[in-house]
């Protein structure tokens, strides 16, 4: 910056300043700031040179270490010089004269730049920013950006609100309640509204404050209201008496080392009270109450709590068998009692299950799947089924499959509806089974096994699977066959002699797969559309595919699920004698055409001959490929 300008600027600035403060600062800088000392030296030098227009811009010269409190030494920075500034291309830097080397230009990124620019912020002339300055908290930055290096994994316990285990706990509690009380009548969700009166009134007192800026207020009001709702439901019993769920086995088993758990207290109660002997561990909370403060059970009025034992996977070993026993054994006073069958204490829970006949045949696996059906998703069930097949030596896999296939494919229709975007899609029993088998086969393949290894379970049918992925085929098969059959019967009965003749001819060709081209001619109102409808209903009710097309859009509307021929067969707009339809071999549409039993083309003469030729050529291509395949 030009010195005259600097001076002018300083005079303007200092006009209102307290001279005492300025003197104090100046004194402080000249005593402590190495750069200020250098400044002084420059001034002395300039005063010895005859020069009127000078431009002085400063920067230190040392470029070694740059830690924050490393001070300059007078040897490093000699003086600040000089020039007219114009020739420096407007760069914000610096020409200094080092004592030993003469004039040098220095970068803005030099460590002393900040100290010179803002002397009051860097009163000792400390180093400022520079290139590659290390981050003070470099370690934590690495941790933030790379979670893999955090170290030990921590599993959040189920007591951690909103954690995955907490959610699963709640889900299982809900399922236990549903099992005991039946499906819920009400499903209450409680959401927050930032326009609630309490929130708006509070924010009205703060100018320009919206609810988005005060989540603390929103959350507090939400919690207050939520607590109030819970009180309405529990204490005030708006919907009647409320029940509570019981501590579950999983927690009990994890705390085996602890002196008192619900399981041990169940046994203690069995020791002390004869009336407790009639209850299994699961049924116990229906008549007894767990006092968590005192960690003991206490007799209470009947029907206040629901018992639940956490599901134990068959792969859990002894835990699984203990769980089986706890569903049956009554009045046990110690762990040995649970293993005692017919006066014999068995060494393991599994042996006790054997002695009780729980493991005869595949009972345990049927029971396992039967219980899991209550809470598990179909995906989880298929995983469980695959695990049972792989590791549990099932004696009759076919029966296990036949008994549980519906639960294993429960999500299929929903998934296919979502995937294909057909809201009312319905799948046949074979398709549902096939999907589940395919998913199970994939799970078994991961373990290098296959359904072939399990005698009696059918293998997934590849063609059915292919169809279930073809939206067009599914659409053409997705009819209510029963109502179509009734409709077909009515229409068939109403056919006149001529219509009947055509009807029988066409049906015969369809049923015998002879292949036939029929041209039906009749004046307006003679009953052609009626005939089409009769044919379409008849064949669709028998799950055959019929493509109903018309040359004109208006005629297509009169046919059940009718489309224009151009749209259905992708006939090109500009036709010539060599035109073909744009249907790719192997596409869904080609697959649909291949499966089609009958094509009805209404108002056929309304389009050019080339259109028929194009369709004919394309159909031949498609059918030829499939017959070769």
In this complex, which beta carbon is closest to ligand ATP, that of residue 495 or of residue 623?
Answer: 495
Q: Nearest distance from residue 602's CB to ligand ATP, in Å?
A: 8
Of the residues 63, 327, 526, 587, which one makes contact with ligand ATP according to CB under 6 A: 526
Q: How far apart are CA 119 and CA 77, in angstroms?
A: 16
530 binds ligand ATP (CB under 6 A): yes
Binders of ligand ATP among residues 59 to 88 (CB under 6 A) are none
DSSP for 263-311, written as a single string: HHHHHHHHHH-GGGGG-BTTTGGGTEEEETTTTEEEE--TTSEE-----
CA distance linking residue 532 with residue 551, whole number of Å: 15
- Residue 606 beta carbon to ligand ATP: minimum distance, rounded to whole angstroms: 11
How far, in Å, CA of 47 to CA of 45, rounded? Answer: 5
- Residue closer to ligand ATP (CB basis): 378 or 551: 551
Indicate whether 421 belongs to the interface with ligand ATP (CB under 6 A): no
Q: Kindly state the smallest distance separating residue 554's Cβ from ligand ATP, in Å.
A: 10
Query: For 446, which DSSP code?
Result: H
Q: Which is nearer to ligand ATP, 530 or 626 (CB)?
A: 530
412 vs 499, beta carbon nearer ligand ATP: 499
The number of residues making up the chain comes to 629
Shortest reach from residue 579's CB to ligand ATP, in Å:
28
522 belongs to the binding site for ligand ATP (CB under 6 A): yes
Nearer to ligand ATP, 242 or 496 (CB): 496
C-alpha–C-alpha distance, residues 187 and 320, integer Å = 32
By CB under 6 A, residue 560 contacts ligand ATP: no
Q: How far is the CB of 527 from ligand ATP (least distance, A)?
A: 3
Run of H or E including 596: strand 596-602
- Interface stretch with ligand ATP, choices 50-58, 198-206, 471-479, 517-525 (CB under 6 A): 517-525
Span interacting with ligand ATP, options 329-337, 368-376, 438-446, 519-527, rule CB under 6 A: 519-527
Choice between 361 and 522, CB closer to ligand ATP: 522
Closest to 280 measured CA to CA, from 333, 335, 336, 329? 329
Q: Per-residue contact track with ligand ATP, 494 to 513, x per CB under 6 A? A: xxx--x--------------
183, 240, 524, 629: which one binds ligand ATP (CB under 6 A): 524
* C-beta of 282 vs 534, nearer to ligand ATP: 534
Q: Which of 476, 501, 510, 503 is nearest to 488 (CA)?
A: 503
Site string for ligand ATP, 455-494 (x = CB under 6 A): ---------------------------------------x
Interface residue with ligand ATP among 308, 528, 540, 566 (CB under 6 A) is: 528
331 vs 527 by CB, closer to ligand ATP: 527
Q: Which residues make Cβ contacts (< 8 Å) with residue 460, sequence separation at least 6?
A: 434, 435, 437, 438, 441, 451
**Choice between 61 and 499, CB closer to ligand ATP:** 499
CB 375 within 8 A of CB 312: no
Site for ligand ATP contains 527 (CB under 6 A): yes
Count of CB atoms situated within 10 Å of the CB of 176? 21
Distance, in Å, from the CA atom of 18 to the CA atom of 3, rounded to the nearest integer, reads 23
HSE-up of residue 132 (Cα within 13 Å, Cβ side): 4
Task: Compute φ and ψ for 341, nearest 5 degrees.
Answer: -130, 125
CA distance 600 to 547: 6
Q: Does 551 bind ligand ATP (CB under 6 A)?
A: no
CB of 551 to ligand ATP, least distance (A): 12
Considering CB under 6 A, how many residues would be counted as binding ligand ATP? Answer: 12
Of 321, 324, 310, 457, the C-alpha closest to 382 is 457
Smallest gap from residue 550 Cβ to ligand ATP (A):
10
Q: Give the containing element (helix H, strand E) for 104.
A: strand 102-106
In degrees to the nearest 10, what's the CA dihedral of 409, 411, 413, 415? -130
**Is position 585 an interface residue for ligand ATP (rule: CB under 6 A)?**
no
599 phi, psi to nearest 5 deg: -115, 125
Binding of ligand ATP by 529 (CB under 6 A)? yes
3-state secondary structure of 68: coil
Listed ranges 99-107, 396-404, 525-533, 572-580: which one lies at the site for ligand ATP (CB under 6 A): 525-533
**Can residue 257 be called a binding residue for ligand ATP (CB under 6 A)?**
no
Reported as half-sphere exposure (CB side, CA atoms, 13 A), residue 335 has a value of 13
Alpha-carbon span 381 to 293, nearest angstrom: 38
Residue nearest to ligand ATP (CB): 527
Q: Which stretch binds ligand ATP (CB under 6 A): 66-74, 81-89, 372-380, 521-529?
A: 521-529
Q: Which residues bind ligand ATP (CB under 6 A)?
A: 494-496, 499, 522, 524-530
């Amino acid at each position: 910056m030009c010195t005259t300008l600097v001076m002018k600027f300083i005079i303007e600035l200092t006009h209102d300043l307290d001279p005492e403060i300025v003197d104090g600062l100046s004194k402080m800088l000249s005593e402590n700031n190495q750069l200020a000392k250098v400044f002084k030296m420059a001034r002395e030098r300039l005063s010895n040179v005859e020069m009127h227009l000078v431009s002085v811009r400063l920067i230190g010269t040392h470029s070694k270490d740059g830690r924050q409190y490393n001070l300059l030494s007078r040897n490093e920075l000699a003086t600040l010089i000089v020039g007219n500034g114009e020739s420096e291309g407007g760069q914000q830097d610096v020409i200094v004269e080092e004592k030993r080397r003469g004039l040098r230009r220095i970068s803005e990124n030099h460590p002393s730049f900040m100290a010179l620019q803002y002397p009051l912020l860097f009163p000792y002339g400390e180093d400022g920013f520079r290139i590659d300055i290390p981050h003070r908290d470099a370690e934590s930055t690495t941790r933030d950006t790379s979670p893999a290096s955090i170290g030990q994994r921590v599993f959040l316990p189920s007591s951690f609100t909103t954690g995955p285990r907490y959610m699963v706990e709640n889900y299982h509690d809900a399922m236990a309640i549903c099992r005991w009380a039946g499906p819920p009548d009400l499903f209450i969700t409680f959401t927050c509204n930032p326009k609630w009166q309490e929130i708006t009134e509070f924010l009205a007192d703060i100018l320009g404050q919206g609810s988005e800026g005060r989540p603390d207020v929103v959350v507090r009001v939400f919690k207050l209201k939520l607590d109030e709702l819970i009180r309405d439901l529990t204490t005030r019993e708006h919907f009647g008496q409320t029940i509570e769920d019981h501590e579950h086995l999983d927690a009990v088993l994890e705390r085996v080392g602890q002196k008192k758990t619900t399981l041990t207290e169940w046994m203690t109660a069995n020791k002390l009270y004869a009336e407790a002997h009639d209850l299994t561990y699961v049924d116990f909370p229906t008549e007894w109450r767990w006092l968590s403060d005192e960690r003991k059970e206490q007799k209470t009025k009947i029907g206040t709590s629901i018992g639940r034992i956490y599901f134990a996977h068959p792969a859990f070993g002894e835990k699984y068998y203990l769980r089986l026993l706890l569903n049956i054994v009554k009045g046990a006073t110690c762990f040995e009692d649970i293993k005692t069958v017919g006066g014999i204490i068995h060494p393991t829970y599994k042996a006790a299950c054997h002695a009780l006949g729980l493991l005869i045949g595949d009972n345990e696996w049927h029971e396992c799947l039967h219980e899991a059906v209550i809470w598990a998703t179909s995906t989880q069930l298929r995983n469980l089924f695959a695990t049972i097949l792989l590791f549990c030596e099932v004696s009759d896999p076919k029966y296990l499959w036949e008994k549980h296939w519906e639960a294993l494919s429960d999500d299929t229709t929903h998934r296919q509806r979502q995937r294909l975007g057909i809201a009312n899609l319905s799948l046949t029993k074979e398709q549902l089974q096939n999907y589940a088998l395919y998913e199970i086969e994939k799970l078994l393949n991961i373990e290098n096994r296959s359904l072939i290894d399990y005698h009696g379970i059918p293998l997934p049918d590849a063609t059915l699977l292919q169809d279930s992925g073809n939206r067009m085929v599914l659409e053409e098969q997705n009819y209510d066959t029963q109502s179509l059959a009734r409709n077909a019967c009515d229409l068939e009965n109403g056919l006149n002699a001529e219509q009947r003749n055509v009807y029988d001819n066409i049906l015969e060709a369809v049923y015998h797969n002879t292949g036939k081209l029929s041209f039906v001619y009749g004046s307006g109102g003679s009953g052609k559309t009626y005939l089409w409808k009769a044919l379409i209903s008849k064949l669709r009710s028998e799950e055959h595919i019929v493509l109903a097309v018309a040359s004109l859009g208006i005629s297509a509307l009169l046919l059940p699920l009718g489309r224009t021929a151009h749209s259905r067969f992708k006939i090109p707009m500009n036709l010539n004698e060599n035109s073909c339809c744009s249907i790719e071999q192997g596409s869904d549409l080609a697959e649909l055409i291949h499966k089609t039993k009958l094509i009805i083309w209404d108002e056929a003469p309304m389009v050019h001959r080339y259109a028929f030729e194009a369709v004919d050529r394309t159909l031949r291509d498609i059918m030829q490929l499939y017959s070769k395949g």
